[in-house]
Amino acid sequence: MGFWQSMTRMAAQAASFFVESDDERHPGHRVDDAGFASALIALGAKMAKADGQVTPDEIAAFREVFTAPPGRQDEVARLFNLFRQTTLGYESYAKRIARKFRCCPCILEDILDALMHIARADGRVTDEEEAYLRRIAEIFGFSEREYRRIRASRLGREPDDPYLILGVDEDIRDEDLRKAYRRMAAANHPDRVLARGLPSEMQKLANRKMAMINQAYEQIRRERGLAA
């Protein structure tokens, strides 16, 4: 589960929290601010509330990715129940975390991954939850392309994902992308649909599919800064 499960654990001493990682890429951090730990709890609780209803599955998912330190389970539960009342204010908590780990994007990615785990706990990700996740990603400094990559690893690709439409992976080379687009465009050109002997009524569907292919390629091309 990344940052909040296998790679980290939180222990409390008085008002301080210690975030420790077993991953050599990003060592532990001393956080002498209980408010930072509260910000993590807030983001998780408000993620559960994003679609308007906090379900038992989402609560269980929160506990999976945020293991309360010994002796602090009741305090964490109290804060969770407080923050779950509304999503208001979640952006300020996200900004606090973003400032703390602005030089450690891998940690911010793990936090976003954990939030996605909570979002999908009840079996689906609603539009409200999607908007919440996208805004967190924006605050964390992730581009749209980076967000899609993180999302795909946890939630799968969206139906309108341009890479999914073209049938290619996001790490495809630019030249291979062009070749893949040309092959797909050629195979799905409306004229070829008619030439294959399909009914003329298929023309409209073929035009729509061709438009989707062109739009997907143009979106990727713009994101990569490729020449037309």
Whether residues 77 and 133 share a domain: the answer is: yes
Whether residues 30 and 80 share a domain: the answer is: yes
Whether residues 38 and 92 share a domain: the answer is: yes
- The answer to whether residues 116 and 150 touch, using CB atoms and an 8 Å cutoff, is yes
What pLDDT was estimated at residue 6? 35
What pLDDT was estimated at residue 28? 39
Whether residues 71 and 118 share a domain: the answer is: yes
Whether residues 43 and 76 share a domain: the answer is: yes
Whether residues 170 and 150 share a domain: the answer is: no
What pLDDT was estimated at residue 14? 26
Name the token pair of 110. Answer: 């793990």
- The answer to whether residues 97 and 39 touch, using CB atoms and an 8 Å cutoff, is yes
What pLDDT was estimated at residue 137? 97
Whether residues 209 and 123 share a domain: the answer is: no
Where residue 155 falls (left for φ over 0; alpha for ψ -120 to 50; beta otherwise) is: alpha
Whether residues 38 and 57 share a domain: the answer is: yes
Counting as low any pLDDT under 50, the low residues of the chain are 1-32
Whether residues 27 and 126 share a domain: the answer is: yes
What pLDDT was estimated at residue 199? 55
| Number of folded domains that form the chain | 2
Residue 92: which CATH number? 1.10.3680
What pLDDT was estimated at residue 195? 67
Whether residues 140 and 213 share a domain: the answer is: no
The secondary element (H helix, E strand) that includes residue 66 is none
Domain that holds residue 194: 162-224
What pLDDT was estimated at residue 144? 85
Name the phi and psi angles at 87, rounded to 5.
Answer: -90, -5
Whether residues 115 and 36 share a domain: the answer is: yes
- The answer to whether residues 75 and 136 touch, using CB atoms and an 8 Å cutoff, is no
What pLDDT was estimated at residue 201? 56
Pick the last residue of a domain from 114, 140, 155. 155
